[in-house]
Amino acid sequence: MRKVITYGTFDLLHAGHINLLRRAKELGDYLIVVVSTDKFNWEQKQKKCYFSYEERKKLVEAVRYVDLVIPETSWEQKISDVKEYHVDVFVMGDDWKGKFDFLKEYCEVVYLPRTEGISTTKIKQDLGIIGTSSQDDDQ
């Protein structure tokens, strides 16, 4: 069985997220999605989510491409996750290109193109939740 892992906040789940999860699942048989906890988002990313971790976890679990959802509590956990879950492929959006190449020692690393025209930041800006200067690290 070929296992794939990806990471993200997955706040305001949208078509870009679904496209990423579908394409990630196409790379293997079993997809693990690591969802950032509220504490990690706030303390490490300086991000406040609209939905709580538990709500975001439930939404991601409901996506048919996803086999397992686990929490992300630190930047450093990626190597241990890859080892613990016997991951074959690590997947992220191409806005992270090169940032996780250190994982090539443990598994294949793939950067997928983002879905154009959609992001959580854009949705929040359109709704007036945040200003235009925020950065988004999710699809």
Cα–Cα dist 19/119, whole Å: 12
Q: Which helix (H) or strand (E) holds 52?
A: none
| Contact (Cβ atoms closer than 8 angstroms) between residue 90 and residue 109 | yes
Q: Quote the CA–CA distance of 56 and 2 in Å, as a whole number.
A: 25
Kindly name the residue from 45, 48, 57, 78 that is annotated as catalytic: 45
Please indicate whether residue 45 is annotated as part of the active site: yes
The counts of H helices and E strands in the chain are 5, 5
Residues 6 or more apart whose CB falls under 8 angstroms from that of 14 comprise 118, 120, 123, 139
Residue tagged active-site, from 47, 58, 99, 124? 47
Residue 5 main-chain phi, psi, to 5 deg: -130, 145
Query: Which residues carry out catalysis?
Result: 45, 47
